Structure 1
Amino acid sequence: MFSKVSGPVRLADRVAAMLSEEIESGRLAEGDKLPTEVELVKQMGVSRTVVREAVSRLRNAGLVEPRQGLGVFVMPRRTRPLDLEAGDTQSKVLQIVEVRRAMEGEAAHLAATRATPDDLARMRQALDAIDAAVAAGGDGVDEDLAFHQSIAESTGNTVMVSTVRYLGEVLRSGIRVTRANEARRGDFIEAVRQEHHAILAAIESGDADAARDAVRRHMKRAASRLQDADEGFWNRTEGIHVDLDPTP
């Protein structure tokens, strides 16, 4: 059914594009089951990691749905969620940082004037959880997301909360790449820790402008750290597999 995949373009991009074309063209129709992972590996001549990443992208785009013990099936056509997987990894991740700077900066601005003592306690717990995850050898992605989501929740704005939660899930792959880059160096890890604590300190002080500036500074520095990463790091990001669930 499928031909071998090769060439300079990222393999996961090409596999995802080929599968998408089968679905968009109707050759794989609503309710059809995709070939198994083993079959796709054999037909396309790629690794299981590449196939998993490609299928994850289709799931992100709302094209397919995995069903426990049955396989992966084509979904009914509907409005597609944001497609943030295709394209050059470095430029895409930097764009993700820009989106987060705008959205999360405003969330912190509101949180500084609205957060309750319980909200602040949850933020502190989230920062402690990041430290614990890193100390245990984890990447801290879930804990990082929880910190920024706790800020949004403290605004009391349900639309803000839902939007930040949605973006957090959709942008998880970019956050994972960002934290993988920061984990390369001890000074990066400490810098991120200090930036997070500066955000919390500004919110705790009730200084809305300082809170917004702290988030923007954090995101600007995250982008700078990414731009300093060498080609070897970006090549390794192709092996990062993220199972996204963009449901708000």
Structure 2
Amino acid sequence: MPPSVDSAPVPPRGQRVRETITQLRQRILAGEWPVGSRIPTEPRLVEELGVGRNTVREAVRALAHAGVLECRQGSGTYVVSTDELAPVVARRLTDDRMAEVIEVRRAFEVEAARLAARRRTPEDLAALDGALAAREAAWRGGRVAEFVEADAALHTTVVAAAHNSMLAELYASIGAAMRSTVTQAMGDALTPERHVDHARLVAAIRAGDPELAAREAGAFLEPAPGA
């Protein structure tokens, strides 16, 4: 019997795998499966995605190799990152490379501040005010880990205000490295001499002054004399 004219051609296997990888990645990025959560079982994914078991298996294996998923024997497959660059950066992060991390941070953050001063919206300014207030509250609380997270959130908010999606993605990839540099700088306690005021950076962005915003952002990460 000749095939029906309504039959849809079956895509090649490689294409099906690529499409499945894209679907899995999109669901992770959308927050359906947050970092730390377990993704559905293989039979469930086969049912939901409408592809074969081998296709699902290859797609999961590819994302595990990229550092987005982690397969734990006897437990399941978990989301360990939303960013394929982050595990690569983490593997390269060692104590003797902290100076390089700071240089990369400076390159990203100076340009982000410059762009944010030009492009910030009222919503961005409200978010910056909230992030700055949270950072100061965390400092007053005296807990290093909370302050590091609040500081990272403020810098991430500045990058978001730049409205450059590629810059935001690249900056997210150094998130763990960025936190490590701040943790190292703070030491075991939040002492007064380690406090760095970020209010002037936010003010420069609010004023729409790109060069002042860039200078303020760069000042936090100036290399030590002789470095």
Q: What secondary structure, in the 3-state scheme, does the structure 2 residue paired with 1:171 have?
A: helix
Quick one: percent identity of the two aligned structures?
32
Taking the aligned partners of 1:69 and 1:176, their CA distance within structure 2 comes to: 35
Q: Does the CA-based 8 Å contact 2:89-2:174 persist in structure 1?
A: no
- 1:171 aligned to 2:178? yes
Alignment of 1:207 with 2:192, yes or no, is no
Structure 1 stretches of 5 or more lacking a match?
A: 1-58, 228-248
Q: CA deviation at 1:146?
A: 0.9
Count of residue correspondences: 156
- 1:100-111 matches, cutoff 5 A: 100-111=105-116
Q: Mapping of 1:78-97 within 5 angstroms?
A: 81-84=87-90, 89=95, 91-97=96-102
User: Structure 2, unaligned stretches of length 5 or more?
Assistant: 1-63
Deviations 1:4-42 (A, max 9, x none): xxxxxxxxxxxxxxxxxxxxxxxxxxxxxxxxxxxxxxx
User: What TM-score results when the alignment is normalised by the length of structure 1?
Assistant: 0.53
Contact 1:93 1:177 in 2 (8 A): no
* Matched residue SS, 2:70: strand
Judging changes above 3 Å, is the alpha-carbon distance between structure 1 residues 141 and 66 closer, same or farther for their aligned structure 2 residues? Answer: farther
> What is the rounded CA distance, in whole Å, between the counterparts of 2:91 and 2:182 in structure 1?
13
User: Residue in 2 aligned with 1:217?
Assistant: 219
Give 1:166 deviation, angstroms: 2.1
Alpha-carbon distance in structure 2 between the residues aligned to 1:120 and 1:92: 34
Does the CA contact (< 8 Å) of 2:93 and 2:177 recur in 1?
A: no
Alignment partner of 1:188 is 2:190: no
Alignment of structure 1 residues 143-158 onto 2, 5 Å: 143-158=150-165
Measure the CA separation in 1 of the matches of 2:217 and 2:200: 9
Please state if 1:114 is matched with 2:116: no
AA at the equivalent of 1:106: E
Pairing partner for 2:142 from 108, 114, 137: 137
Partners of 1:83 and 1:127 in 2: CA distance: 27
CA deviations 1:204-229 (Å, max 9, x no partner) are: 11110111111111111xx439x8xx
Shift of 1:68: 10
- Structure 1 residues 68 and 197: CA distance shift in structure 2, 3 A: farther
- The 3-state SS of whatever aligns with 2:220 is helix
Displacement of 1:70: 3.6
TM-score, normalising length: structure 2:
0.57
2:121 and 2:161 in contact (8 A); partners too: yes
Q: Indicate the structure (1 or 2) with the bigger Cα radius of gyration.
A: 2
C-alpha distance in structure 2 between counterparts of 1:63 and 1:157, whole Å: 23
CA RMSD, 1 decimal: 3.4
Amino acid of the structure 2 residue aligned with 1:179: M
Aligned partners of 1:132, 1:214: CA distance in 2, in Å? 21
Match of residue 160 from structure 1: 167
